[in-house]
Amino acid sequence: MVTGVPAAVAASPYVELSREQWRDLRKNTPLTLTEEELEELRGVEDPIDLAEVTDIYLPLTRLLNLHFTGARQRGAAVSAFLGERSAPPPYVLGLAGSVAVGKSTTARLLHTLLARWPEHPNVELITTDSFLYPNRVLAERGIMDRKGFPESYDRRALVRFVAEVKAGAPEVTAPVYSHLEYDIVPGATQTVRRPDILIVEGLNVLQPAPPTSLAVCDYFDFSIYVDARVEDIRHWYVERFHKLRRTAFSDPKSYFRHIAELPEDEATRFAREVWREINERNLVENIAPTRGRAGLVLHKGPDHSVQKVRLRRS
């Protein structure tokens, strides 16, 4: 095979690119973040490095910018046909993957990088945890240990939210979930105001719709699945748990404040159990089976660096 040419995956709509092949597709996309800005963006939680931004995320924003432009042109063609002069609808980008695979980190980076393009300065981000049922409802239904499974979400409210944004509503509001309190915050809302791009990040955003209704992914212009080996994700989950134990869990408002006082080995045991009984099950049963629906799959190695990219051609 000629090197540099992406491999077509046998009997699959994807082309597979190595990290190097993908990196070269950055072409002349300018570097839009300095080391200082990256520092500001990553905060204490995200030790993402600049090479990862330049090699992986800049080519990705170039692809998304081209795709966005194509979607706008298609929208304009339909408007011309209808003789309308309406504003173009927001471009909706879905971002899926396991708990702890790095979805929030990827979403935050894309948010910042995409907003630097003149064609789409107004980027909004919503995470599907906003549409989890409050703990009271989960407890009433006996599914407190199923948080993150499809049935723990108010899926109709989520679909309605994205449908309204996509329809160009001037203001659409969503509830707010607090990871600290491990619950929906009563009365709190966030508002999305006609963005150029809406990023919808969550475990189950690629789940197909039940018969006779629509799913949130029916409104996506493009979608990304963040992938890694289960053993690596488990390790990141436990590592993040310990990091949180030293920081957020010691807050008196934290749902997990009792964990901050546990000895290290007991906390590890607890984190592994939550991983195994909730998050890994959800990954295997519900999340991983949706990977083949994504427009792009980013496959990470054990150090979080993206090693392989699969891009759907059709």
Ligand X SMILES: CC(C)(COP(=O)(O)O)[C@@H](O)C(=O)NCCC(=O)O
Residues of the binding site for ATP = 97-104
Nearer to ligand X (CB atom), residue 105 or residue 128: 128
Binding-site annotation, residues: 97-104
Nearer to ligand ADP (CB atom), residue 160 or residue 308: 308
Unique residue bearing structure tokens 């990862």: 52
CA atoms within 13 A on the CB side of 39: 3
Q: How far is the CB of 157 from ligand X (least distance, A)?
A: 13
Tell me if 59 contacts ligand X by CB under 6 A.
Answer: no
Tell me if 101 contacts ligand X by CB under 6 A.
Answer: no
Nearer to ligand ADP (CB atom), residue 45 or residue 251: 45
Q: How far is the CB of 99 from ligand X (least distance, A)?
A: 5
Pick what 257 binds: ligand X, ligand ADP, none; C-beta below 5 to 8 Å, kind-dependent: none
Pick what 278 binds: ligand ADP, ligand X, none; C-beta below 5 to 8 Å, kind-dependent: ligand X
Nearer to ligand ADP (CB atom), residue 164 or residue 251: 251
Tell me if 101 contacts ligand ADP by CB under 6 A.
Answer: yes
Are the C-beta atoms of residues 151 and 142 closer than 8 Å to each other? no
Pick what 223 binds: ligand ADP, ligand X, none; C-beta below 5 to 8 Å, kind-dependent: none
Q: How far is the CB of 237 from ligand X (least distance, A)?
A: 7
Q: How far is the CB of 246 from ligand ADP (least distance, A)?
A: 12
Q: How far is the CB of 182 from ligand X (least distance, A)?
A: 7
Pick what 283 binds: ligand ADP, ligand X, none; C-beta below 5 to 8 Å, kind-dependent: none
Site for ligand ADP in 229-268 (CB under 6 A): 236, 240
User: Which member of 54, 79, 104, 135 binds ligand ADP (CB under 6 A)?
Assistant: 104
- Residues that bind ligand X in the complex, under the rule CB under 6 A: 99, 127-129, 147-148, 202-203, 274, 278-279
